[in-house]
Structures are given as C-alpha cells and as structure tokens.
Amino acid sequence: MHVNCFGNQNKKETGFALPSTLMLLLLLVTMGAAAALYAGLEFRSMNHFQTGNQALFAAEAGALRAVNVMNQSGVTHFANDVVTRWNTLFSPSLQSLVGYPQFTFTATVEADPTNPADRGWITATGWAPYSARRIVRIGVKRGPIGRGIGAIYLAADSVTPSFSGNAFDIDGNNHDPYGNLVAGTVAPGVATRNDNVTNAVKSALNAQQKDNVRGSEFSLSPLNPSVVTSGGPDWSDLNRVVNSILADPRVVRNNTSRINGNVTFGTLQSPQITHLTASDVTIHANGNASGAGILIVDGSLTINGNLNFVGWIIVRGSTVISGPSSDDQTAVLGNATVMGSLWTAHMVIRVGGSAIIDFCESCLNLIVPPSGGGYMPKAMMITSWQEVM
C-alpha cells in the first residue's frame, strides 16, 4: 500500500502562504497610502508655508502703501490729518498688488494715545490663496524733514516761470537765522510737485542764472541748478494747512494794502503768525518790513522797499520777484532776504532783483501749534515693525 507522506503537508503550506501574501499586499497598500498621504500633507504644508509668506508680503506692501499715502502731502498732526481722514486717503475695501490680483490687503491706522500729534500705528492685513492671512503692525512718527521742503516750494501742477537779472540767490543748503551755513538738511533750491514743473523752471534759467539756484542735486560740471521734483502738498492740501494755521488764536491779522515806513511782523525772540488779508499788499520804496515766524499772504505781495523775514512765508497767489506786479502776484523789486522757506500756490513765478531766499530748517519751527505736532507738513517715518500672531 502506497502512502503519500507529503500531500497533507503541501496542503498545509498552501493554506499558510495565502494569508501571508494577503498580509504582505495589505502592508504594501498601507505603506503606499501612507506615503501618498504624507506626500499630500507635505505638499499642502509647503503650499501653506508659501502662501503664508505671500500673505505676509501682501501685508507689508499694504503697510508701505499706507505710509506713502500719508507722505504724499505730509503730516502736520497725525490724529487730525491721517486718522480722521483715513477712509478718504485710503480705500477701506480690499486692495490687490499690481499684477498679482490673488494677493490682497487692507490697512487701518490709530493715533498713539500718549502723543496723537506725532505718533501712530498702521495695522495691515494681507491675504493669499489657501485662506492664508498675515497681520503686521508698524509704528510711525513725524520725521524731521518737511514734505516738499525747499528754499522755494511750488505747489502748482504747472507753472510759467521767468527769471531776470543775475543778482538773486536761492539756496537750499541749510542756514541759521543769521544767514550762516550750518550742518543739516540739504534741500532743493526750488522744490516742485512734478517733473513738468521742474523742467519748466530749469528751462527758464539761462546759463548765467543756473548757478544762482543751489542746494540738493546742484552741480557746476555739468551745470545743473537745484530744481528738484520732491512731491508735496498740492493747492488743496496747502489750503488745508493754511486754514489750520489761521485757526491758531495767536494769529495777528493785518488788512493794510500799503506799507510805508517801518513795520515788524514778530521777532526771533517773539515770533508771530501774521496774516495779510488784503488782496494786494505793497511794501513801498520807503517801507522797511521785518519779521519772524509765519507770514501768510492771501493775495499779491509787491516789495519795492526792504523785507527781512525769518521763517515760513506762504503766498496764496503767484510769486514775482523783480517784475511788474498784477493781481495775485508777489513782486520783489527792492531788497528781500528770507531765511526759511517761501511757498506759493499760483502758476506764475518770476525771480530776479536783489532777492536772497536761503533755506533754514530751524527757522521753520519757530511756532509750535497749541495742540502739538507742527504746522510744517512732514514725512512719517517707520519706528517699529512686528508681525501679529
């Protein structure tokens, strides 16, 4: 009788191999699924990391755009000029980066409760794909440099300039109130709002006159007068600044149209805000006017005599230095010495005669508003940066 000694053993081995194979296949499938899961998680993690950085970039861009909006015309009082007008200055709706519509941001502002005139905060939020969001908070303060500052500042978007003679001096290098050169800001001789005005002023200067306008970007070889596009307040902004100054209870108003003899509009020891309200003010040949502080002229100002002023002169009409006077013009036919800055909002400027207009940074801060801050528009500076988690 033949007995199969291995038959049952083969059957047993076959039965054992099947579950082992199934377990191996299950293990491989599980490992493959886990690998796919981890790969997907890593991909999503890297995507979230990338979009998180993109959202942070969008938030920073929003904060910088907010600073640029503030500095377009300068700030005299952060709470009043920026916070209360923010929805007018900066759209409250989502804004996107140019060329990258998937990256958006918003920005809000608040004044520093301990110093609302000079300091404040910008909180900017940025968004990117995958619902990524980042928030940055930036501290800002009014800087030392005036916006649009220069020995002369032209607030008009277009001008018709002319220059006569070769005895005038316009210098953006920093001086003290007595006319001495000192360390400090080197401003343009003539500061403008746009390149068209800059080019018009440069073109109006002949070769003998170009070196009479010195300051930032001035050079003798090649000869280049200091006429610089700096931006700054336009007429509406300047009018807002003037109205703020005229609300000061210390303003001294003068409605005279003819100045003969001696007249004083403040001194260095006791500077004042002087408001000449007449439509046409003339300092005659026998007139001698001096002053310090802020001088605001509503209409034209003709100087046939002598004017010595330390501080900030704002002429709401045009500016004519040496030449015939007409309505809304400032003419200097005599001797004018201004230490500080002369701002004009009109489209006509004529410069000549014996006129010295030298930039003086300290002369522009002789009068401080009762509420703090300053009357001179200044650029906001970043003092701190942090990401809000």
Residue 53 lies in a domain: yes
Residue 205 lies in a domain: yes
179 shares its domain with 97: no
**Residue 240 pLDDT:** 87
Cα–Cα distance for residue pair 170/147, rounded to 1 Å:
19
Cα–Cα distance for residue pair 244/249, rounded to 1 Å:
11
156 shares its domain with 141: no
Helix locations, 282-388, DSSP H? none
105 shares its domain with 240: no
Residue 13 maps to which CATH number? 3.30.1300.30
Residue 368 lies in a domain: no
159 shares its domain with 138: no
Residue 304 lies in a domain: yes
192 shares its domain with 309: yes
113 shares its domain with 246: no
204 shares its domain with 333: yes
DSSP state of 75: B
Residue 111 lies in a domain: yes
Pick from 282, 297, 286: nearest CA to 262: 286
Into how many domains does the chain fold?
Answer: 2
Query: How long a stretch of residues is the chain?
Result: 389
Residue 375 lies in a domain: no
Residue 231 backbone dihedrals phi, psi, to 5 degrees: 70, -160
57 shares its domain with 171: no
140 shares its domain with 282: no
Pick from 200, 187, 197, 202: nearest CA to 234: 197
- The DSSP result for 109-159, as a single string, is EEE-TT-TTTEEEEEEEEEETTTEEEEEEEEEEEEEEETT-SSEEE--SS-
212 shares its domain with 313: yes
Cα–Cα distance for residue pair 28/213, rounded to 1 Å:
83
Residue 104 lies in a domain: yes
Q: Is 99 helix (H, G, I), strand (E, B) or coil?
A: coil
356 shares its domain with 217: yes
How does pLDDT run along the chain (389 residues), one tens digit per residue?
A: 555 554 555 555 555 566 666 666 666 656 655 555 555 545 455 555 578 888 999 999 999 999 999 988 889 899 999 999 999 999 999 999 888 899 999 999 999 999 999 999 999 999 999 889 999 999 999 988 776 689 999 988 888 887 777 888 999 999 999 999 999 889 999 999 899 999 999 999 999 999 999 999 999 999 999 999 988 888 888 888 899 999 999 999 999 888 888 899 999 999 999 999 988 777 766 778 999 999 999 887 777 778 899 999 998 876 665 544 444 555 555 678 999 999 987 655 566 567 899 999 999 999 988 888 889 888 899 999 999 98
Provide the b/e sequence for 270-290 (b: ≥16 CB within 10 Å).
ebbbbbbebebbbbeeebbbb
Pick from 165, 166, 183: nearest CA to 174: 183
Residue 337 lies in a domain: yes
Expressed as residue numbers, the domain containing 70 is 8-145+380-389
181 shares its domain with 324: yes
